């Protein structure tokens, strides 16, 4: 469901994270925020499009079981090695998520993935999540980009995050490097899928959810939005 070119990009070496400190701060923040959303200690949680998920153990500690889904084969293989000894973490490919039983999940997180999906791909995923979530379950869709958001807005958010976490100089150089990278060429060629508030609410409603904007976005970029959706 992710554009093939984007999946190839994420499955190859890239410079989205400007250095190890950036990557550590990013994944620690996301894990802390997801763990805070886990409704109870026996909850079954799915993090779809989880990336490297370096601090997934923090989410697993708050839950009964954590399913990590990653479409990039090399990233998924690293996840399987990293968390092989944790009995509460299972690493899945997207087709394995499609085979989950109905109403088996308490929380699904789709963070910073929607922008790489086609509209049809997003609709299919939302329908899958609706089938897999329990009636009182929660879908969290994070990092939704609105149409008017400019690239400079993302850059500014990164610089603020970098200053707070001690990698400002690396972030400045990283932004320059990104402009010359495959990421920027793909972003310029394919674009990122964007949604107005009304459009994402309507998209989720069409898949059987009642949705609302969350108080804050997951992650460091508060110019993007997160939505909470519950099955109708």
Q: What's the pLDDT score for residue 94?
A: 95
In DSSP notation, 189-209 reads: HH------HHHHHHHHHHTTE
Q: What's the pLDDT score for residue 179?
A: 73
In DSSP notation, 112-170 reads: S-GGGB-HHHHHHHHHHHHHHEEEEEEEEEEEEPPTT--HHHHHHHHHHHHHHHT-HHH
Q: Which CATH number covers residue 198? A: 3.40.50.150
* Residue 107, helix vs strand vs coil: strand
**Domain carrying residue 37:** 4-231
CA distance 184 to 232: 39
Q: Convert the pLDDT of each residue in 88-114 to its tens digit.
A: 999 999 999 999 999 999 999 999 999
Q: What's the pLDDT score for residue 7?
A: 77
- Count of domains observed in the chain: 1
Positions of the chain with pLDDT lower than 70, given as ranges:
1-3, 180-190
In DSSP notation, 82-98 reads: HTTT-TTEEEE-HHHHH
CA distance 126 to 26: 25
Q: What is the pTM of this model?
A: 0.92
Q: What is the residue-averaged pLDDT of the chain?
A: 93
């Amino acid at each position: 469901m992710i554009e093939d070119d984007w999946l190839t990009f994420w499955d190859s070496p890239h410079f989205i994270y400007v250095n190890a400190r950036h990557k550590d701060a990013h994944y620690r923040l996301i894990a802390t925020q997801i763990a805070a959303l886990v409704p109870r200690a026996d909850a079954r949680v799915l993090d779809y499009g989880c990336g490297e998920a370096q601090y997934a153990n923090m989410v697993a500690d708050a839950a009964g079981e954590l399913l990590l889904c990653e479409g990039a084969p090399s990233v998924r293989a690293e996840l399987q090695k990293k968390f092989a000894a944790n009995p509460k973490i299972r690493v899945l490919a997207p087709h394995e998520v499609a085979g989950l039983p109905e109403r088996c999940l308490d929380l699904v997180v789709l963070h910073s993935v929607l922008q790489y999906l086609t509209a049809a791909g997003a609709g299919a995923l939302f329908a899958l999540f609706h089938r897999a979530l329990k009636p009182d379950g929660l879908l969290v869709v994070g990092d939704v980009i609105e149409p008017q958001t400019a690239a400079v807005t993302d850059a500014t958010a990164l610089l603020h995050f970098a200053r707070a976490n001690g990698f400002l100089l690396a972030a400045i150089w990283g932004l320059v490097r990104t402009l010359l990278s495959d990421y920027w060429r793909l972003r310029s060629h394919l674009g990122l899928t964007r949604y107005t508030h009304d459009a994402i609410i309507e998209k989720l409603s069409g898949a059987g959810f009642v949705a609302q904007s969350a108080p804050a976005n997951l992650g460091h970029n508060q110019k993007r939005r997160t939505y909470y959706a519950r099955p109708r």
